[in-house]
Amino acid sequence: MFGSVNLEGVEVMEIKVGERAGFCFGVDRAMDFALKEGKESKNSVHTLGPLIHNPQAVDKLKKADIKVIDQIDKVDDGTIIIRSHGVRPSIIEEAEDKDLDIINATCPFVQRVQEKAKQLYKDGYQVLISGDKDHPEVIGILGHTDNQAIVVEELSDCKEVKLKSKVGVVAQTTQSLNKLKKLVDYLLPQISDLKVHNTICTTTGQRQDEAARLAQDMDLMIVIGGYNSANTNRLAEICRENGAITHHIEQADELQVDWFSNIKKIGVTAGASTPNWIIKEVVSRMAEIKQDVEEKETTEESTTLTVGERVTGTIAQLTEDGAYIDIGAKTEGFIPNNEISSQRVASSEILSEGEEVEVEIVNPEGEDGHPILSKRKVDEEAAWAKVKEAYENEEIITAKVDREVKGGLVVNIGLRGFIPASHVAVDYVEDLSQFVGQELELKVIEVEEENNNVVLSRKAILEEELSKKKEEILNSLNKGDIVEGKVTKLVDFGAFVDLGGVEGLLHISEISWQRIEHPSKVLEEGQEIEVKVLEVNPTEERIALGYKQTQPDPWEQFDNKYDEGDKVTGKITKTVDFGAFMEVEPGVEGLIHISQLSHEHVANVEDVVTAGDEVEAEILNIDINERRVGLSIKELESAPASQGQPARQPKSRPNKRNNNRQQDKEKKNGTTIGDLVGDDLEDLFS
């Protein structure tokens, strides 16, 4: 798994170099193209941007008379080399228009991502790119989607995107597989048509896995590669995640002697853009340093105090410059103010004479003979341990806000902690000064000890509390419940109502028994109302509400007020091919069929009535279960004379309901209207 460190005679027994460290296939291919062209071409040769993210390799290309440009318009002839990261299609077209010789050294793995993204976009998918938005590779992939794809660096970026029903996902070739998995896990429950292409370079994944295994067994990891190289930075991050002290360097002269003190096992890995000769130089220099450190440690074994050693002592005296402490050595140790605490306060505010404290040896022999000690380093290490434990276990910590700074708040957690403005509360807070001096409950969301960076979130805790409250409310609601809520938002299709931590949808059709053009005709934002739960789905967190169900039902009122045969007056609300609708009471509409508009033949409804007309009609029938009312205008008009016959007067239409009750009564007496009228009964009511 791991290679020998015997590089041209250099042999260091306790240094392990990863077999996959250094140039990947794509970078090696691009360098070969460039060096060959630089050697053979009689014309000028340029690379569009640094060929790889390694300054030393770029210098080597420069010595081969290969120049770096950042825009096509800066070269008029010769050869242009497209680097392994790839470019937008428009750049290739621009180079072709200028008749430049083009050598496309785009890595085949990158070309695959470009093709996948382009096809997804062509097929109508909303394309998400998991990667670094500022990375040249990602910028090139964007160009293959007409710059319409969305770059997701962190999962929080995706949560701010309005997702469509069809989503396609690709990844930057050097992206972390873990980040891609988190994105896919987030999208799966939401997207009905999701296509995911794992376009992470296999070599990248193998190199990262190797680095992780190596770091687990090492005391120290040296990661070699350009500071601007995304894959090298990711390797350093992986090594730290796996518990090894990690240093990221570009070249051998950056190695520091004190890194190797008390270190027994050293691992080495390198990014895909790191030439092998740089790896060799680093390993050679490490061998020299290791030998020097071992000799120094042997010499210092006889001394009482060593750098980094921890001792416990008693504060003997406090001064304006710091504190003297008895640590049992030949002379008292001294803690300068800047080594007492990271806070800018007097030593007397933190220490007291006679107090026992633990300190770290910074310099065994200071300028005045007193060992220089640090309490701050001991405290910060303890604070880092506490912060890391809280981060790993997702524990809540409490911290006081020290001050407001640009973009957020600074808190004291034994270290400097930062709360971004977007993580202070669930909703955006414009005035952050109100939190200064407050004790806040926080969660650690990012820890970078090497950069002295701790990021905290109050929003994460508040969202968890809201989520629990929402779950409780969803589980407590039942279909048919009448509950109180507040209108939070009006939209064309209805209103959203807050039920105390979870929102339900009040569809426009459930707001009023009458037709309304917009919810604002009935409701206002901020209004407190009672609503009825029509449906509740705790799994999908969906609640359907009704407002009109809490108001009197106009149909029930209508049914109690009117009978068949009654005359009603109302306004025509709408005309259709087969008749006209008339509002007989607020919230109740009846249909006047075209055949009931006139005794004459009616070809066009609007020849008789139009929307807005006030008319009188007779109720033909009422079906309260189906909420239907049949109406007639012609029943209130005289029939026209026909074939010399006198015009009939409008007939008095009997009340069917009362008539039925009368028939029941007559049946009990043994006589019915049918018995009295006989065959003429049908004609009487025709």
201 is in an annotated binding site: yes
Question: What's the CA angle centered on 309, arms 307 and 312, to 5 degrees?
Answer: 130
Could you tell me the two tokens for 125? Answer: 């998918």
Alpha carbon distances (Å) from 382 to 284, 293, 317, 331, 385: 35, 27, 25, 27, 5
Q: Is 425 buried (19+), middle (13-18) or exposed (0-12) by CB count in 10 A?
A: middle
DSSP H or E segment with residue 650: none
Phi, psi of 148 (to 5 degrees): -100, -10
| 231 annotated among ligand-binding-site residues | yes
370 is in an annotated binding site: no
Distance from C-alpha of 549 to C-alpha of 513, rounded to nearest angstrom: 8
Within 10 A of 85 (CB to CB), how many other CB atoms are there? 29
β-partners of residue 358 are 312
Which residues lie closer than 8 Å to 22 by C-beta, 6 or more apart?
270, 272, 274, 275, 276, 279
Partnered with residue 571 across adjacent β-strands are 583, 614
Q: Are 144 and 173 a contacting pair, CB within 8 Å? A: no
Q: Is 507 annotated as a binding residue?
A: no
Whether 420 and 446 have beta carbons less than 8 Å apart is answered as: no
Distance separating alpha carbons of residues 35 and 105, to the nearest angstrom: 12
Q: Is 137 assigned a catalytic role? A: yes
Spatial distance between the Cα atoms of 373 and 371, rounded to a whole number of angstroms: 6
Contact present, 225 and 250 (Cβ < 8 Å): yes
Q: What is the DSSP letter of 185?
A: H
504 Rama sector, left if φ>0, alpha if ψ -120 to 50, beta otherwise: beta
CB 547 within 8 Å of CB 494: no
Q: Smallest Cα–Cα separation from 531: which of 557, 491, 495, 556? A: 495
Long-range contact set of residues 69-74: C-beta below 8 Å, sequence gap at least 24: 72/48, 72/98, 72/100
- CA-wise closest residue to 19 among 211, 263, 167: 211
Q: Is 660 annotated as a binding residue?
A: no
What CA–CA distances, in Å, run from 298 to 173, 295, 301, 306?
A: 47, 5, 5, 12
**DSSP codes joined into one string, 403-439:** EEETTEEEEESSSEEEEEGGGSSSS--S-GGGGTT-E
For residue 87, what are its two tokens?
């470019």
**135 labeled part of a ligand binding site:** yes
Question: b/e per residue, 305-320, with b = 16+ CB within 10 A?
Answer: beeeeebebebeebee
State phi, psi for 328 to the nearest 5 degrees: 80, 10
User: Residue 30 CB: number of other CB atoms within 10 A?
Assistant: 27
- Report which DSSP code applies to 520: G
CA dist list (Å): 54 to 40, 68, 138, 172, 247: 24, 13, 19, 19, 17
Residue 158 known to bind ligand? no
- Establish whether 302 is an annotated binding residue: no
Which tokens hold the place of 238?
A: 């992986």
Single out the catalytic residue among 37, 137, 210, 503: 137
Query: Can you name the residues that pair with 398 across neighbouring β-strands?
Result: 441
Known binding positions for isopentenyl diphosphate:
53, 85, 135, 229, 231, 273
Active site residues: 137
Known binding positions:
24, 53, 85, 107, 135, 173, 201, 229, 231, 273
